[in-house]
Chain A
Amino acid sequence: MGSSSFLWNCTKKFVTAAVITVTVSDRYVTVVPVRGGSMSPTLNPKTGSLMGDVFDDYVLVEKFCLWKYKFSNGDVVVFRSPTNHKETHIKRIAALPGEWYHTHDKSDVIPIQSGHCWVEGDNSASSIDSKSFGPIPLGLIRGRATHVVWPPQRIGAVKSTPPQRLCSALE
């Protein structure tokens, strides 16, 4: 009798902790791993090397921006892929609703319609982003990456730089 009540108590505590974790990670903050080198050099700068996968960056994602869907140009955001809802991508916002976006390769100017944004990876050579699937609805965004929390030598804030400025800084 004693052991069954102990088990019951443990289950209850475990379930409560799980529900609280889910709530906090849905509404406030969560930590997600970054896979692949599409955001290099901001995130995962060493992808492609032998130990690349072991040292994947983990980023802190805040969800407060989802209350009003207010974003600014250059924010690094986590969003559901528009072509496959089970995948989550991390990219940088390049243009917001009402702005005109100037594509690099086609020298074309595209208007961003309301409720959409243009996302691009920092490593434009190996990044599947708005260049292939067009502007994405803001409703797909799941949070904004603010800090790198792991590995220890890479802890620090994720800078919110508009991509144009980043390009000019690299050149």
Chain B
Amino acid sequence: MRFMGYIAQWRSAAKEALDRTAITVNFLCWLHFTSNYVCSPCHAYGVSMLPTLNVTGDILLADHLSPLLGNVGHGDLVLVRSPLNPKIRLTKRVVAVEGDTVTYFDPMHSEASQVAVVPKGHVWIQGDNIYASRDSRHFGPVPYGLIEGKVFFRVWPPGSFGLLDQ
């Protein structure tokens, strides 16, 4: 009799463990889904986006649906996987899209302005602070497929909480 009691106890414990695991897995999958297809927080720091974003690091919300729908255009702040190091992500502004002619000025390398044409399927990204930003002026136009999200909302610092004006 005691043996049967143990079995029943063990079964209920196993069932509970299984239920908890299922809930956790489900939760993690939802987390993955929302952060990859809906929106996710991201942290941007550095001087390259002054004066739009602060040096100390802003917490932003990026929407991941717009790049999938092809809804990224001039002036949007985007989250881009760096073409030079795939492990890091950059926050920059889209200056030109495919087919556009860009006239840019790189104070670090030359005094004269240069002209480039953005090829098909690429975008031209630049930081707002042109004096301290490594962007398309350095590595050329980036493929649209590297865009991971469109930044639309600022969460931190609390003083500038709200939608980012494009």
Contacts and interface: CB of A to CB of B under 8 A. Distances in A.
Interface of A: 16, 19-20, 22-23, 26-27, 68-69, 79-86, 113-116, 136-141
B110 to A, nearest CB: 20
Interface of B: 25-26, 28-30, 32-33, 36-37, 67, 70, 81-87, 119-122, 142-147
Contacts of A82: 121-122, 143, 145
Given A84-B120, A114-B84, A140 B145 contact: yes
A112 to B, nearest CB: 12
Contact of A137 (B29, B121, B142): B142
B82 A115 contact: yes
B28 A23 contact: yes
B144 A139 contact: no
A28 B37 CA distance: 17
B30 A137 contact: no
A20 B86 contact: no
Q: Which of B30, B84, B142, B145 has the most A CB atoms < 10 Å from its CB? A: B145
Contacts of A27: 32
A116 B85 CA distance: 8
B90 to A, nearest CB: 11
